[in-house]
Structure 1
């Protein structure tokens, strides 16, 4: 039975005992774009993620349009609920991440479908998911994947609106709010809400000002790296970043089990994936009892 989560000071905690909880795992992408049920996921694959790699939390990106569309030829919400249950049965928490608004709209170069900000349908999306997951405390809602190209004040206003849609249904739900610059930079993103985790996405192209972007904030509030990852040439960088996370007692979910930059392919860890797996399997990556 997974303990309900909360936040206290700069930590994610067990809501019952108040003890800190260290959450680390991977992103299993696919539900945002795959036409197949469960994006092809199954309990055996997730068992490898949890038991074989040591993940105690898994971030599941999803697409807004299929949530809002409701049941039709595909029970998309039912699939999300089943994936969450599979992970809970394995002893892992889930982050549900609003990754795309829809599967058709290209919003940037390279067929990029990550939008700069939410829409009014995002409010309806989170109202629906709040109701569907009411009473399921082992799910964190990541309100919007990677805001970018908008002022901090605009994103903060949006975050309050989306949080309100969830909290009107369930006041204690733990929420995750990313920074600007594709979720990297938390400067200016400040909300007065309980049970709130700030999320950063860290890739090598973002530069070296980790303190300014998210590290200094992690000394004061819960900060979680919702994405970080790399390829063969990024191992030294990745090791340094992982040490930085550890120093600040930050949880994380590495990108990605299924998409570039890959952690594994055909069941075999990439070189960067081997680094991530070794970190996850260290004894320190355990839930604090």
Structure 2
């Protein structure tokens, strides 16, 4: 008997028992795990802390909507074909969303969703502040209103109110995030990703607050966050302990390490190479807990952490993988 037939018979028998015994079934969707988020960050070459308009790697402010779509199709296809990704995280800020380039920028978002990919839109503060706080409150809410108006009805678009809100106390950050939920109450909770306090690190303070029930939670982790950890197990424990009992809601939306210097991430290297221990530990624990992960970065020209490189120019571009062993560990984290 094939697996498909066994599954069908099991489902039929279960349904018959429910009807016979008069039970009711809760059909409300629930997050059993987040590992259906298999993603990478698509970033600005200058990093996403930009005072002006954000320009993702491979794109240009002179690109029309159509040209942006053509370029985006090739970059996103590279993520899908080379890595097996189904998610892309992209930055937003007021200058990008409020100006004329927004029409072109949306071409990349629209192309991703048309290819069946999830898109995480995350607010980044400007380079001149870098203080972990919203740069301008009125502009912030105006920006999000524009984004929500356009994409709240698109089930593939997810909203991350703030990237790394480290300038706020835990209480103040939670109040701001709760205000976001109140202002845009029409956005389904399951499509809102609330950053952990600090540098997206303190997750239980979000998970334990009932105001965020139903929301996803973002975790960031890098080797330089804790230079005292030197083994795969230490990094597994670091990630697992930070998540507590909220693994079913947590996505690691940033993690990365050098990918352009020939390191071998497929070999255990405890107490020999801290970056290898870090990547292997995060990958292993993410897989064990069923966490989605979004690597930093998929594409960001000249970033030594990038796992994809853009080849060619203009619309004649393609992607290649910088480190096949890093790709192995990324895919392992996804359960592939």
Common fold by TM > 0.5:
yes
Give yes or no for the alignment of 1:257 onto 2:298. Answer: yes
> Segments of 4+ in structure 1 off by > 6 A?
none
Select which of 6, 17, 36 maps to 1:22.
36
Select which of 222, 226, 250 maps to 2:249.
222
In the TM superposition, 1:1-289 aligns within 5 A as 8=30, 11-12=33-34, 22-30=36-44, 32=48, 33-34=54-55, 36=61, 37=63, 38=68, 41-67=71-97, 69-70=98-99, 72=100, 74=101, 76=102, 78-100=103-125, 102=126, 105-107=127-129, 114-118=130-134, 119-120=136-137, 121-167=139-185, 169-171=186-188, 174-190=191-207, 191=209, 192-207=211-226, 208=235, 209-214=238-243, 216-219=244-247, 221-231=248-258, 232=263, 234-259=275-300, 260=303, 261-266=305-310, 267-271=319-323, 274-279=324-329, 285=335
Partners of 1:282 and 1:241 lie apart in 2 by 10
Question: What is the DSSP-based 3-state SS (H/G/I as helix, E as strand, rest coil) of the residue aligned with 2:88?
Answer: strand
Post-superposition Cα deviations, 1:231-251, rounded to whole Å, max 9, x if no partner, equal: 145233201210010111100
Partners of 1:40 and 1:155 lie apart in 2 by 38
Partners of 2:122 and 2:171 lie apart in 1 by 22
**Higher Cα Rg, which structure:** 2
The alignment covers a number of residue pairs equal to 254
Structure 1 contact 27–257 (Cα < 8 Å) conserved:
yes
TM-score of the two chains, using structure 2 as the length reference: 0.67
Partners of 2:167 and 2:173 lie apart in 1 by 10
Partners of 2:256 and 2:224 lie apart in 1 by 11
- Compare the two structures and name the one with the higher helix fraction: 2
> CA, structure 1 residues 280+242, in 2 after alignment: closer, same or farther (shift >3 Å)?
closer
> CA, structure 1 residues 127+195, in 2 after alignment: closer, same or farther (shift >3 Å)?
farther
Structure 2 contact 291–334 (Cα < 8 Å) conserved:
no
Q: CA offset at residue 97 of structure 1?
A: 1.1
Provide structure 1 residue ranges, at least 5 long, that are not aligned to the other structure.
1-5, 13-20, 108-113
TM-score of the two chains, using structure 1 as the length reference: 0.77
Q: CA offset at residue 44 of structure 1?
A: 1.0
Structure 2 contact 299–309 (Cα < 8 Å) conserved:
yes
Question: What is the DSSP-based 3-state SS (H/G/I as helix, E as strand, rest coil) of the residue aligned with 1:8?
Answer: coil
> CA, structure 1 residues 213+64, in 2 after alignment: closer, same or farther (shift >3 Å)?
farther
Structure 1 contact 254–276 (Cα < 8 Å) conserved:
no
In the other structure, the counterpart of 2:13 is none
Provide structure 2 residue ranges, at least 5 long, that are not aligned to the other structure.
1-27, 49-53, 227-234, 264-272, 311-318
